[in-house]
Structure 1
């Protein structure tokens, strides 16, 4: 495998033998994962708080906390995931020209697809390369619009009742990538990138519930320059003011929720602001073929997760992210442990630790693999399968406070929810004027 990696990176040739070798490696990986699964848990097992110890070494400490506190897991056979063909084609076309900068912080030569498709775990820069693969992952490449999703904040725990502290409903969770576009024109790079150096645009607005926050919104821009922080603005209709936000706030809890913008969709902090350490790769449990949409509110942990759901053995890269020295004083987290699925290139879960080294926040994402976000979709239907996020939870393990989000929502009018790489939003959506006008 290392020889194949060296050859492809050196020559840029994705020959038929190279593709065949990669296919063989993928099959062997699935076989290895299945063998590991037989040694610990097997398809058909149901993991609950009563037998949680069976999964202790197959999940992160944060996920184990969730199981001990009532989240159940239905173990299913490992399924295979393939990238969307346009993303795969772009990877073959452009990846050979990509490298890290001289200081190993930034990308050089990136256009589209995955920057580093052949990972060598002995590479001294493997952790950084994994994290750049995370930035340009196959899940969302051009644009996306998640319409009408909702979240519930609860104090979860084993067999606790579902007492909802706060209910949230959001109109749009949307993004537009200027670089790495593979399905919607302009491709592969929006010409605006040369003028602004913006890598992507993000908008979350309007808040529809609770009433006290109705109409609020949030916009974020990410830039290519390693030393330029994000631009962030919020809108509060109560005092009718646009506020410019401090970038450091994006890695902290927001309001009554445990979600923060740096973890809305996996590890989403600015890559260059962290140091990375590779901790290894191994077979672990994760959700990649979720069976429910909308997700099921877990009845055995007070609604603090989605369960029961299909968990399978996945091969994961484990990376430790810590703030760079100049940012340590601004960060509440001492370190973040990222569990990266090596096939779908998304994180089934992440654990965050406080400055004292104690486990603090756990984030879990439930994804499914199909050609539409919901089984009865009429618009968002694709000619190939892709991953869709169907649920997410963030939990303060020190207090038990959790915010569980459902995609699509449990109480929302929009059922298709995800519109990925369909031109559903353009750059005009990500302006303060548009955010203000959208407020009900």
Structure 2
């Protein structure tokens, strides 16, 4: 049944009010549409981005400031929110989610609610970008050191055949909907996989898959196929917060903060108008010529309404996590993370992840297959920067030189559960 008319009207009014608020809220006096932010005038945006993002700008990542434009949800996600959100609540332990089916769990937020931080984070876990499945093909990641004013000097380049995911619940566009029947027996909430590695040569064939369970007490299951060993091995969950090799990415911070939510505490730090890249113009994105190719620029950045949440590991649930805390910034309209800052065990800023998003009905302008009946968000580039060493890993989605230009296949049934098995992982590795 549809949600009662009154609540549907309320949701529509909130959406309209949000759009008007974004449109009418004046930009911070330090920036305005048409401004170009460089290392020379980076101080102008110190208060408008995360500390890690400010460091990236001060080291050469440029920003082109544009007017704010609205982002709307895919209609199936909006419909599911209206239909199911009224029955969703937090469990008595204030951590688990009860009554969730599909759509956004908590479309109505009160900053004075003592549980608002947990609700914001559950909203970002069930965001409208990709609800059912996705297959990101032939993307590449470049490792380089931040070097203001210098040409790019690659430390290494990685290319992966597929980065894919499949959700067993919360499905809104591809059958089975709203849940895969297997969920009742397996308890698997979502599956993810990244394989096979195509470059560098010594890692060719490597990859990993992950299962996340709805049961709060059941840790993620992860398996990795290593090219050198030529076999699959299980990976301890705590390793998901560690970066492999030269890369500065870790699994828990890829695509935004994505660790198992019940293993962390959430503290609401407030909401604020800040800059974010939401309507990127370049796809494929380009290495930044003014920071040694450590990030991607020059791109359009606009004022957005962001929620800010501090995330800390629950010591009774998980130990050995390298980050003492993570500050998560959540776009209040699209529910993605424009940037995420992580702090080491000494409490010092360690890493920042920066995401360049675009909003259109296709991932690249000349797409022939990945074309959608409505606009949706796509990440075109993402940088993970170790601000202490200056080493950055920037992934391009799609890569500038890869054979698959369309790259993003979202909610198209491009992958099924058979992709997320150790058998498929091993076969691809060989």
TM normalised by structure 2 equals 0.97
Structure 2 match to 1:217: 207
1:208 aligns with 2:167: no
Q: Distance in 2 between matches of 1:20 and 1:91?
A: 11
**Shift of residue 158, structure 1, vs aligned partner:** 1.1
Alignment pair present for 1:28 and 2:45: no
Alpha-carbon RMSD across the aligned residues, in angstroms, is 1.3
1:405 is matched with 395
8 Å CA contact retained: 1:12, 1:96: no
SS of the equivalent of 2:393 reads strand
Kindly indicate whether the alpha-carbon contact (under 8 Å) linking 2:135 and 2:415 is maintained by their aligned counterparts in 1: yes
Give the secondary-structure state (helix, strand or coil) at the position aligned to 1:40.
coil
Q: In the alignment, does 2:197 pair up with 1:175?
A: no
TM-score (norm 1): 0.95
Aligned residue in 1 for 2:342:
352
User: 2:376 pairs with 380, 386, 389, which one?
Assistant: 386
Within 5 Å, give how 1:237-386 maps onto structure 2.
237-327=227-317, 329-386=319-376
Classify 1:298/1:226 alpha carbon distance in 2 versus 1 (closer, same or farther; 3 Å).
Answer: same
- Kindly tell me: are residues 202 and 23 of structure 1, through their superposed partners in 2, closer, same or farther at Cα, counting changes over 3 Å? closer
Name the counterpart of 1:8.
none
Contact persistence 2:225–2:429 (CA under 8 A): no
Deviation at 1:328, TM superposition (A): 6.2
Contact 2:340-2:354 at 8 Å conserved across structures? yes
Look up the SS of the partner of 2:93 in the other structure.
coil
Q: Which moved more, 1:377-386 or 1:322-331?
A: 322-331
Length, aligned pairs only: 428
Quote how far apart the aligned CAs of 1:157 are. 2.3
Q: Does 1:65 align with 2:50?
A: no
For 1:432, the equivalent position in structure 2 comes to 422
Matched residue SS, 1:190: coil
* Structure 2 residue ranges without an equivalent (≥5): none
Change (3 A) 1:71 1:32: same
1:188 matched to 2:178: yes
* 1:304-338 C-alpha deviation (Å, 9 max, x unpaired): 11110000000000000000122564111110000
Structure 1: segments with no counterpart, 5+ residues: 1-10
Deviation at 1:362, TM superposition (A): 0.4
- The structure 1 residue matched to 2:72, chosen from 56, 77, 82, is 82
User: What do residues 193-227 of structure 1 show as CA deviations (whole Å, max 9, x unaligned)?
Assistant: 00100000001000000001000010000000111
1:23 offset after TM fit, Å?
Answer: 3.5
**CA deviation vs aligned residue, 1:340-388 (integer Å, no higher than 9, x gap):** 0000000000000011110000000111000001000000101100001
Q: CA deviation at 1:39?
A: 2.1
Match of 2:385 in 1: 395
Counterpart in 2 of 1:18? 10
Partners of 1:47 and 1:296 in 2: CA distance: 17
Partner SS, residue 28 of structure 1: helix
Structure 1: distance between partners of 2:19 and 2:410: 28
Q: Secondary structure at the match of 1:428?
A: helix
CA distance in 2, matches of 1:15, 1:226: 30
**Separation (CA, whole Å) in 2 of partners of 1:253 and 1:19:** 41
Preserved CA contact (<8 Å) 1:12 1:97: no
Contact 1:14 1:92 in 2 (8 A): no
Quick one: distance in 2 between partners of 1:38 and 1:261? 34
1:118 CA displacement: 1.0
Which residue is 1:4 aligned to?
Answer: none
| 8 Å contact from structure 1 (residues 178, 198) kept in 2 | yes
Local SS of the residue matching 1:330: coil
| Structure richer in helix, relative to its length | 1
Partner SS for 1:81: coil
Q: Distance in 1 between matches of 2:81 and 2:68?
A: 25
Q: Distance in 1 between matches of 2:229 and 2:44?
A: 53
Asked if the contact 1:49–1:70 (Cα under 8 Å) also holds between the matched residues in 2, the reply is yes
Provide the secondary structure at the position in 2 that maps to 1:54.
helix
Q: Which residue of the other structure, out of 139, 157, 169, is the alignment partner of 2:147?
A: 157
